Amino acid sequence: MLDVYQEHAFGLPLITSSVCLNDLIPKVLQVFRLEAESRAITFNLHLPDARLTLDADRRRLERVLSNLVHNALKYSPSRGLITVSARIVSAETPVHNAGDAVGMSDRVAIVIEDEGPGIERAVLPHIFEVFFRPQGRQDWRSGRGLGLYFCRLVVDGHHGVIRATNRPHGGAAFLVELPLRKPSHAHHLAHC
């Protein structure tokens, strides 16, 4: 909530450093492991052999991933599967931010998929709006309408894209695309 207020008042200041997703994503999943085990939910993690390094605000990016994994857990049925994957997306296509092209860059796509009920079609266009909650729902899981908005603020601040869709066979999928570290910093990849 403080980050949302700060963004409205002053803009969201990012403190960037080298972040290795190969380390950060498993760390986020570890935080939720006991909760997942208590409901017999399995995490299925797919990371490439290549180290995925980006210049990012580590604390805020970790909160984005935590929020998305926590939502997947909230909506997953017992004995469900949550798949988290990351892959490099080629620079062949432009990166978009709020509908405007921001340049060509290799980037990483992080996808978090669950086997829950999915997202109502009418809700999808509004899911990242501040304080948005589906009307008429008494679902305790629907939260306060700040989590996904915060995710969008942080991803936008990193010149990335966040999207939500429904999986063809049920469940929701959240995609986060972020620019990878520029090639001029390639010598830092070994420290990832």
Distances (CA, A) of 23 to 16, 57, 58, 68, 154: 16, 15, 11, 17, 19
CA dihedral 59, 31, 47, 175 (to 10 degrees): -60
Among 26-40, 94-108, 140-154, name the one with the lowest average pLDDT: 94-108
* pLDDT value, residue 144: 54
pLDDT tens digits along 3-53: 544 444 446 788 999 999 999 999 999 999 999 999 999 999 999 998 999
Domain definitions of the chain by residue range: 15-90+107-191
Confidence bin at 92 (pLDDT 50/70/90):
low
Name the CATH code of domain 15-90+107-191 (choices 3.90.850.10, 3.40.50.1980, 3.30.70.100, 3.30.565.10).
Answer: 3.30.565.10
Q: pTM surpassing 0.75?
A: yes
